[in-house]
Amino acid sequence: MEFEYVLPGDMDVFVDNATTNASCGNGTVLEGADILPSVGPTAGRIATAAFLFLIAALTVVGNGLVLLAVAKHRSLQTLTNAFIMSLCVSDLLVGALVMPPAALTTLFGEWIFPQPFCPIWVSFDVMLCSASILNLCAISLDRFIQITNGLQHGTYMTRTRVAVLITVAWLLSILTSFPPINLGLHEHAGFPTLTNLTFLTVTPQCIFDPNMTYALIGSIVTFYIPLTAILFTYGTIFREAKRQAARVAALNVQLRNEGRNNRGRTGANGITSLKAIRTLGIILGAFMITWLPFFIANVVRPFCYCVSGQVFEVLTWLGWFNSALNPIIYPLFMKDFKRVFKKYMPFCKRDAGDSVHTVPEGAQLGKPAYTRSEFVSEQVPGPATISCRDPPVCPPVAPTMRRASAPPSLHELKSLQEPCFRGPARLSLTLNE
């Protein structure tokens, strides 16, 4: 059956609802400025554009810092972090290529770039936003395997499979953007809004108004399917974190009934479980708040044009803002990244007078929990006291004490490990003033 495009009401209504910028994720139009009123910077447009440029700058800087940290620190160059790097690349390009033209259109009230750049910009917009969402889906899958099959994670997530997942995410993003948009498959019949920038307006406007077929298929492939996968994987992780928290609480009760004090170990486990639940809440909350409103409007708008251009503009920038949040949410909630960023951000550092290193709680009997490359001692000047002590649940072992005028070497720290690995223990380096 042939699709017929019918204007809602008359041309004035359509033009009033039409907008000036592109949209993410195969969406409908985004309003950067009213189409019919006079163009040129005004006080309101300048203030709005300044705020939008600030978001773009934060997006580029935040994702750039994450990529720089991975490039400079070998400890961050892991297969798991490959997904983070892919996400940061897509988000950085959103801030560098997509947001600035949209902000400039808002500032001047019209499309100020050459006409051939309009479909290219729209294609990059759709591709990069789709890649960002699909990379988030790949990250959730990797974490799902870590939780449900932790011992087999290395078997499932090989270098080849990680590369395949990242490649598939980018290929899907490309296939849903450049080919259909540049071939005109997204257009309503007879409305070439990306090639004729004054087709509907007096001033040049880059209007991306896809038909219902493209909006539905694009939204399903690049958002609703990944959203379903993310909800399933993080839902499973959330349930596992709750079960672990419940087990820790039950163990605490049992130890109190037996008159033993093991709050150090079980308390740490409980805190870890609660932090995992909090992190999942932040991740899901940020993703849903920023993208779900846009994609709901995205599938509704082609049918009824009941979402105003102003509202759709806000929803589009809200989706773009997710690219500024990702380098905060994902890396800074991961211990390896936090340790690296603390070196470069003074406001994140611990007090200089205290440095405590904790042996992982999963250390098994007779097996060292730290290798030479994993144990890092901060070189802080001043005398120090090193102590190695067992937890209360283990038979006591005479502590090894040493006073030094300088921080101990890694060899000296390694020599202190043996008495500590009879069970979960704590190795502390306390600096004396």
Q: What is the CATH number of the domain that holds 114?
A: 1.20.1070.10
Same domain, 97 and 240: yes
Position 48 pLDDT exceeds 90: yes
Last-in-domain residue among 316, 343, 370: 343
* Per-residue pLDDT at 253: 76
Position 247 pLDDT exceeds 60: yes
* Per-residue pLDDT at 151: 86
Same domain, 179 and 291: yes
Average pLDDT of the chain? 75
Same domain, 207 and 320: yes
pLDDT band at 260 (very low <50, low <70, confident <90, very high): low
Tokens of 79: 């297969």
pLDDT band at 274 (very low <50, low <70, confident <90, very high): low
Phi, psi of 30 (to 5 degrees): -125, 130
What DSSP element (H or E) covers 7?
A: none
Position 307 pLDDT exceeds 70: yes
Same domain, 258 and 389: no
* Per-residue pLDDT at 389: 42
Same domain, 327 and 361: no
Q: How far apart are CA 105 and CA 90, in angstroms?
A: 22
Task: Give the bridge partners for 387, in sequence order.
Answer: 428
Q: Is residue 412 part of a domain?
A: yes
* Per-residue pLDDT at 409: 54
Least confident of 109-123, 201-215, 331-345, 395-409: 395-409
Q: Is residue 333 part of a domain?
A: yes
Q: How far apart are CA 351 and CA 353, in angstroms?
A: 5
Q: Which residue has the higher pLDDT, 131 or 302?
A: 131
Q: Is residue 4 part of a domain?
A: no
Same domain, 339 and 360: no
C-alpha 1: how far from chain center = 42
Q: Is residue 398 part of a domain?
A: yes
Name residue 119's amino acid: P
pLDDT one-digit tens code per residue, 195-227 = 888 877 788 988 888 899 999 999 999 999 999
Position 426 pLDDT exceeds 50: no
Least confident of 65-79, 210-224, 247-261, 346-360: 346-360
* Per-residue pLDDT at 310: 83
Same domain, 257 and 385: no
Neighbouring C-beta atoms of residue 60, cutoff 10 Å: 21
* Per-residue pLDDT at 398: 44
* Per-residue pLDDT at 262: 52
pLDDT, average across residues 125-135:
97
Same domain, 32 and 130: yes
* Per-residue pLDDT at 86: 97
**Exposure class string for 129-141: b at 16+ Cβ within 10 A, else e:** bbbbbbbbbbbbb
Q: Which range in 70-74, 168-172, 189-193, 379-383 is most confidently predicted, on average pLDDT?
A: 168-172
Q: Which range in 4-8, 161-165, 340-344 is most confidently predicted, on average pLDDT?
A: 161-165
Residues 6+ apart with CB under 8 A from 176: 26, 126, 127, 130, 217, 218, 221, 222
Position 237 pLDDT exceeds 90: no
Q: Is residue 348 part of a domain?
A: no
Q: How far apart are CA 187 and CA 191, in angstroms?
A: 6
Same domain, 302 and 416: no
Closest listed residue to residue 227, CA positions, set 167, 299, 177, 310 = 299
* Per-residue pLDDT at 41: 85
Last-in-domain residue among 343, 369, 401: 343
C-beta separation of 242 from 152 below 8 A:
no
Q: Which residue has the higher pLDDT, 302 or 403?
A: 302
Q: Which residue has the higher pLDDT, 46 or 421?
A: 46
Same domain, 370 and 320: no
Q: Which residue has the higher pLDDT, 314 or 347?
A: 314
Neighbouring C-beta atoms of residue 157, cutoff 10 Å: 20
Q: How far apart are CA 415 and CA 431, in angstroms?
A: 19
Least confident of 172-186, 210-224, 347-361: 347-361
Q: Is residue 6 part of a domain?
A: no
Q: Is residue 2 part of a domain?
A: no
Position 28 pLDDT exceeds 90: no
C-beta separation of 87 from 132 below 8 A:
yes
**Exposure class string for 372-408: b at 16+ Cβ within 10 A, else e:** eeebebeeeeeebebebbbbeeeeeeeeeeeeeeebb
Least confident of 8-17, 27-36, 130-139, 140-149: 8-17
Same domain, 388 and 272: no
Looking at the 3D structure of the chain, how many domains does it have? 2
Last-in-domain residue among 312, 343, 374: 343
Residues 6+ apart with CB under 8 A from 252: 262, 263, 266, 267, 270
Position 10 pLDDT exceeds 90: no
Domain span at 362: 353-431
Tokens of 414: 């390694």
Q: Which residue has the higher pLDDT, 405 or 192?
A: 192
The sign of the CA dihedral 26, 32, 33, 39 is: negative
* Per-residue pLDDT at 351: 42
Same domain, 370 and 330: no
pLDDT, average across residues 130-153:
91
pLDDT one-digit tens code per residue, 374-385 = 333 333 344 443
Position 75 pLDDT exceeds 80: yes
* Per-residue pLDDT at 271: 57
Q: Is residue 115 part of a domain?
A: yes
